């Protein structure tokens, strides 16, 4: 799975060589992306008319795989890279809004061995930019190994 979908997935995989005590992923999705999800239907959760952020799921990556199979790729990758799907906690919320993006996020960088604080919008922008880098790497490696990767240009994808 491409690591660019999750900021620092390669770092999680590297850290898993040592000891990781806990992993928690909080995801915010547009409402229309979650409509019809098995978890929402099973629990009778109606999100069609919500106007504010709402937590609709909290559980393990394994449980998320069952409840949100169409939305799971990042959660599954995180579970596989880190401490396993049963011990990786996932929370789904309905959206990212301007106030969430404007807030600061503090995180520890294993590369620089210190904490950093940045606006979330900077980190989200980095995530989308950096995934392009990793996808290019994977495409290059597959091509060099004699593979023919699928087309990644949206107008030509099935």
Distant-in-sequence, close-in-space partners of 62: CB < 8 Å, separation ≥ 6: 79, 85, 86
The encoded tokens of residue 58 equal 């909290």
What pLDDT, on the 0 to 100 scale, is given for residue 42?
A: 92
The single-letter DSSP state of residue 137 is: H
pTM over 0.85? The answer is no
**% the chain with pLDDT above 90:** 4
Angle, CA of 53, 59 and 65, to the nearest 5°: 100
For the chain, residues with pLDDT lower than 70 are 1-23, 71-96, 150-154, 156-158
20: left (phi over 0), alpha (psi -120 to 50) or beta: beta
Burial class (CB in 10 A: 0-12, 13-18, 19+), 128: exposed
What pLDDT, on the 0 to 100 scale, is given for residue 3?
A: 41
What pLDDT, on the 0 to 100 scale, is given for residue 2?
A: 41
What pLDDT, on the 0 to 100 scale, is given for residue 55?
A: 86
Place of tokens 């959206």: 95
What pLDDT, on the 0 to 100 scale, is given for residue 56?
A: 86
């Amino acid at each position: 799975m491409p690591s660019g979908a999750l900021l620092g997935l390669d770092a999680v995989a590297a850290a898993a060589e040592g000891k990781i005590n806990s992993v928690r992923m909080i995801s915010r999705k547009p409402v229309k992306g979650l409509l019809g999800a098995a978890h929402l239907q099973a629990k009778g959760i109606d999100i069609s008319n919500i106007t504010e952020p709402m937590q609709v799921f909290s559980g393990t990556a394994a449980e998320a795989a069952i409840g949100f199979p169409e939305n799971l790729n990042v959660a599954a990758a995180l579970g596989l890279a880190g401490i396993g799907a049963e011990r990786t906690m996932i929370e789904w919320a309905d959206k990212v809004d301007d106030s969430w993006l404007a807030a600061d996020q503090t995180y520890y960088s294993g590369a620089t061995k210190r904490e950093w604080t940045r606006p979330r919008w900077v980190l989200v922008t980095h995530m989308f930019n950096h995934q392009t880098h990793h996808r290019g790497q994977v495409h290059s490696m597959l091509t060099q190994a004699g593979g023919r990767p699928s087309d990644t240009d949206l107008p030509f994808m099935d």
